[in-house]
Structure 1
């Protein structure tokens, strides 16, 4: 005995159409997928305060939502960062922004230049392997001064080592220091009162536009 199935199929199709129509009416079908960014670093990220400005400016430029999550901790080095790769991967980011040299370069953290270079190389290798579609950008942040600068006498060598490891893997490197150094000495001292951590509002004005330019390229008007 044959069972008539057509009415059942028709009902299923009708319900599917209703669900699709409801989704369109509620805007779900038209909502763009957000661009997901992970900022991976030290206190220059954890306390940086530049992420909201980057979200806003990049979203305006690209005409799509942008969401930035931070995997960052004050006072930590690239040794700590090696233990945080699972957290970065779990976010499934489209872009990863990395700054991990600043505390490696402090004399009292005892992370040698060779060890720092090996660590960032291992971090980049793991991220490339586990997130092959992600765009990875290694960064140099602001200059240091005062006591915070004195305890980092070879910081430029650490920056160069991280840059070299990025370039070896065909990854991008963004150096924010020249933009900071365009400020007058007095303005720079005001912007970075403790010699290492910029005021968030000024960091936003210097770091966010540079990253928008790098990430969006010519897709954003001047």
Structure 2
């Protein structure tokens, strides 16, 4: 609007010449303003909330870098996660998640619930995740909540989780009931050859960080920021 007013106020005989100059000046102003606005945005805050698949995952730095490049905005990924813990533990950690005031919360809390020796029944796990989702939505109504199914288990780690698929399905059902998002990385892991999968997850549960980043980051970044961000 400023550029248009200046052009109208210019003498008629000078409008053609001045118009070209003003056009170039206005383009520069628009580009500079857009850049300034992007730079002034607060960091996009993400909390990854989960088990050792998050605590030892190693995919968070890659996600931070990828999203920052895609969004042209600072991105900060924090973790509230602990190896060996269950959704029962997670219920005691909600204050920590809320304190971060995240824009996005990534959740994986089924893996240890599904182990036979921790005695978290399928019904209890489902009640826990429902309570977690309801509390987070109530306390962080603007946050985007994304549940995730991580990598497959094998060997002894798989044997102690004979019904892990049912736990994942229960958590997914609670997410869908609330209109929340769900991402399943298992199909991407299962596209690896048996030898490559065994090398990528040598203990049958915890992927090597560099491989986890290659599997998780593109899909998650694409899901958060759009198709082009995963390329």
Cross-structure match for 1:96? 105
2:168 pairs with 1:159 = yes
Q: Distance in 2 between matches of 1:54 and 1:28?
A: 23
Higher relative contact order (CA 8 A, sep 6+): 1
- For structure 2, the residue ranges without an aligned partner over 5 or more in a row are 1-35
Q: Which of these residues, 197, 200, 209, is aligned with residue 188 of structure 1? A: 197
For 1:51, the equivalent position in structure 2 comes to: 60
Normalised by the size of structure 1, how large is the TM-score? Answer: 0.86
Q: Deviations over 1:170-218 (max 9, x none)?
A: 0000001001001000000000000000000000000011100100114
Bigger radius of gyration among the two: 2
1:129 maps to 2:138: yes
Q: How does 1:1-222 map to 2 (within 5 A)?
A: 30-218=39-227, 220=229, 222=231
Q: What RMSD in Å do the two structures reach over aligned CA positions?
A: 1.5
* Post-superposition offset of 1:33: 1.1
Instruction: Give the TM-score normalised by structure 2.
Output: 0.82
What secondary structure is seen at the aligned counterpart in 2 of 1:103?
coil
- Once residues 78 and 147 of structure 1 are traced to their aligned partners in structure 2, the CA distance between those partners, rounded to angstroms, is 22
**Partner-residue secondary structure (3-state), 2:182:** strand
Structure 2 counterpart of 1:22: none
Q: What residue in structure 2 maps to residue 3 of structure 1? A: none
Contact 1:62 1:219 in 2 (8 A): no
Q: Deviations over 1:70-90 (max 9, x none)?
A: 000000000000000000000
Question: Which of structure 1's runs of 4+ aligned residues deviate more than 4 A?
Answer: 27-30
How many residue pairs align between the two structures? Answer: 196
Aligned-partner Cα distance in 2 for 1:140–1:108: 21
